Every structure is written in structure tokens, then in C-alpha cells.
Chains A and B, each alone.
Chain A
Amino acid sequence: MPLEQKIKYENDCDKEFAKWVSSQTGGENLRHCIQCGVCSATCPLSLYMDYTPRRLINLAREGFKKEVLSSFTIWLCASCYACRVECPKEIQVTDIMYLLKRKAIEEGVFPRRFPIPVLAREFSRMIFMFGRVNETLLVTDLFLRTNWFKFLSMTGLGLNLIRTGRLSVLPDSIKRRGELRKVLEAIESDEKKEAAK
């Protein structure tokens, strides 16, 4: 078994990343965390996480960029906000998970073949095209891109949805698609300008 460093030294971390996290919407009061662990205790998914929410918060604010961005934790967060409501220091844990997800997608470091980043990307693409989301098409697209074999196991659910009249095959669309695109494109050009600065 290869030896692995289990305890982190201060110079193993990225101070710039730590600063960046605290500067983002939702990360402002990250320093107030007292590491009580209520977030981990209340989280219904912490049993599957590589770092519990408490540990993730500590790693993020100390600047352990690689560990945080490549973790399963951020992708397992289902945004139920239980941690945020229970936190005695009002840390916005859910929003911190979101900003870390965005950074992980931006830097392309999320776990490969993990379907959630793919879902998020396809979701936003569908909105850009139609302004609305057709759940059936989204899920079909997701499985064909990530795990078409798993798609076969979903046929039972698909048939049940057809039987109960809950499956739509045609994409729903807004009328003024151009209006929505103009809004989204305005943000893109704004972001590009800022990045160029």
C-alpha cells in the first residue's frame, strides 16, 4: 500500500483560493464557522460523501483547492438546505456547494463520467434553446451521454409515465426566445469583458 499524507501542512494549500471562496456570494461569513458539525449531522447525504460538509467547509476556507473541487461531496449535495437552516453561525453551506460546483465545472476538474455536471450543462443548453425544460428529453439526453446501459433500466419508469399520461416527447418553448437569448448573451459579454480586465 502506497504511503499517503493524511495530515495537511499550511504550505500544502492555496491561499488565493481561500480568499476567492470568501469573496463569493454566500462565502462571506465562512470564517465564522465553529466546526460544530451540525451540517454533517443534519445532511441526509453525508454518509456517501468523501468529505462531510463540516470538513469540506474547513478545507475550502483553508484553501485546499484540489481536494475540494475534485470531491464527490459537492456533487452529492441535493440542495435541501437542511444545513443552512440548522447552522448556528448562519453559514450558507448550500450556496458554498454551488459556488464550488461552478468552479469545478469551470476548471474541468469534476470526477469524470459523474453525471451531475453533464446534467447541469445540458439543462442550461436546453434553456438557451427553448427557454423551458422538457424533463423527458433532458433525462434521455443525459443517459445517452453518460451511461446508455443504465438508460435501459429506466424503461420501466418510462412505460409507467406513458401509461399515466405524464410523458411529453415534444420540447415546450417560450414565444420570445430572442428576448431570453439577448439577456443571457448580455451576461456572457459582460463576463468576457471582466475576464479581460
Chain B
Amino acid sequence: MKYQYFPGCSLKGTGRAYEESFLAVFKALGVEISELEDWNCCGATAYMSVDETKSYALAGRNLAIAERAAEDVIAPCSACYLVLNKTMQGLKDHPELKRKVTSALKAGELDYKGTAKVRHPLDVLVNDVGLEEIKKRVKNPLTGLKLAPYYGCQVVRPFATFDDQHNPVTMDKLIATAGAECVTWPLKTRCCGGSLTGTVPEAGLRLAYIILKEAKKRGAQAIVTPCPLCQFNLDGYQDQIARKYERIDMPVLYFTQVIGLAMGLSAKELGIKRGIISAEAALAGR
């Protein structure tokens, strides 16, 4: 199995534990990963507010480069995953927009055909690698650990086809495969606050607090997420949330870290220590 990998800016920055654990897990599963050559920022949510055509072209450059190889592209960041898929869909549905974008890409000697396939690691793990295969490699089942699966918004809405938009379950299945227990809760896809935690904290922090509070109430020892911005908001702002509301002390892990731990990979190569709220007590206490 071979894939191209689109890291995006977060996985090279504040979300580097996601990159570390994603690469370690896929390597241990025998999946070959090669980073997309000279990728650029996907544009996230901010660029769409400035210029529509440019934001499609920005994602279009990445897709044009990806098309040069036959392999599917894995985009672990929810925003990158959404933007790349949105661009493919948008250019398919709007011929005039496609004409503008492809002609601009030609100015940079890039050829966009729309043949790339952008996938999420959750999709690849469950549907290509398979839960059976992962289960075979679980050496250290996380028995007794209670985890809250938190998908965030953009991974399943509105373009993903691999999971249910109202009640996604792929990560639940992976958590169960890792031997841990899944907390049942209704906030799986509720917004974490996105970039509002930084720009309008009075609104953003409240959204993050709601997620943390509910996970704690349901007995979760940690939250598990597939999104670098969710991880950052829920993990990084707990001090500010404590000052405004109450202290929660909830570690926030990436799903790739959870699978990695169950597969017996070391905490170091999975970047467990990069959590601002330490997960050590939760992982040791189970």
C-alpha cells in the first residue's frame, strides 16, 4: 500500500505530534507514505473569506502536483481535507470557476485535471488497512481506558463520504480495536470554536469549554480527535478556560497516538509529551 501525504501547516507546527504519530503508525502497519512534493498551504477557512478564485487555485496547485502520481492523497488535518475535497467538488460543479482556475494554474505551468483522490487517515485505516489487520498488531491493549471520541466539524461535514455526518463511528471502531472504552456522548461533531478561540475568545472559549466539560461529566479520561485545530483549542486553552469557567484537566490525544500506544510504539515516537495537559496520569492509571 502506497499513499501521498499532504501535511498542511499545522502538522508541521503546533500539531507536530499528529505528524509524528501518523507516520509512526502507518510505518508500523507497513504502509508507504511519501510527502507531497513542494505542497503549499490549503488556504484553510481564512483564505475563502478574502478571495474565492484564489483560494480554489491555492488548493488547485496541490491537487495538480498530486495528480502527477497515481497514489491517493492522505490529508490528516480536517481543514486541509475539507478544502481539498471542496475544491475538487467546486471545480466540478462550476465550469466558469474551473476555467479561471485552470488557466491561472497554467501560468505556473501546472496542469489540473481533477483526478486526484483525497482521503482521510480514518478512512484509510478502516477501509484500506482494515480493523482486523490493526487488531493483529495490538500488543498492548488499552483495557480500562475511557476515551471520548471527538471528531470535530470539518472531517465529516459536508464532503466526507466515508462516515456518517450526524453520528460518525470510524474513530469509535479504532478506539475499540485499541482495546479502550468509548464514551457515548452527543458532542462528537460539535464545533470546538475554530479560530474564534484566538480572535473572539469570549465566544470561542465557551465552545471549547462545553466539549471539555461534557467529556469529563461522561467519565472520559481523555478526548481523542483527528483534527489539529480541535487538539490545539481543547488542549492549549485549558488555563484560560480555568480562569473563566472551571479547571477541567482533560488530556487531548490524536487517534493515531491511541492506536500507536496499543500497537506498542513508544510514547516518545508518538509525541505523547507534546500535550500541554499531560496524558501520563490517565495512561498510567488505567
Residues of A within 8 A of B (CB): 25, 44-45, 48, 75-76, 78-82, 84-85, 98-99, 101-102, 105, 115-117, 119-121, 123-124, 127, 131-136, 139, 142, 150, 153, 156-157, 160-161, 163-168, 172, 174-176, 179-180, 182-187, 190-191
Contacts and interface: CB of A to CB of B under 8 A. Distances in A.
B107 A79 contact: no
Nearest to B190: A44
Given A48-B202, A116-B199, A184-B104, 12 more contacts: A25-B97, A45-B207, A76-B196, A76-B203, A78-B196, A79-B48, A123-B46, A124-B50, A135-B13, A136-B14, A183-B105, A187-B57
Contact of A25 (B14, B52, B157, B275): B52
Contacts, number: 192
B240 to A, nearest CB: 7
A127 B237 CA distance: 26
B34 interface: no
Nearest to A191: B53
Nearest to A157: B236
Nearest to B53: A187
Interface in B27-84: 38-41, 43-54, 57-58, 61
A120 B154 contact: no
Interface residues of B, number: 68
Contacts of B193: 78
B202 to A, nearest CB: 8
Contact of A124 (B14, B17, B51, B103): B51
Nearest to A48: B203
Nearest to A118: B199
B9 A172 contact: yes
A81 B39 contact: no
B40 A76 contact: no
Contacts of A186: 103-104, 107-108
A101 B49 contact: yes
B38 A102 contact: no
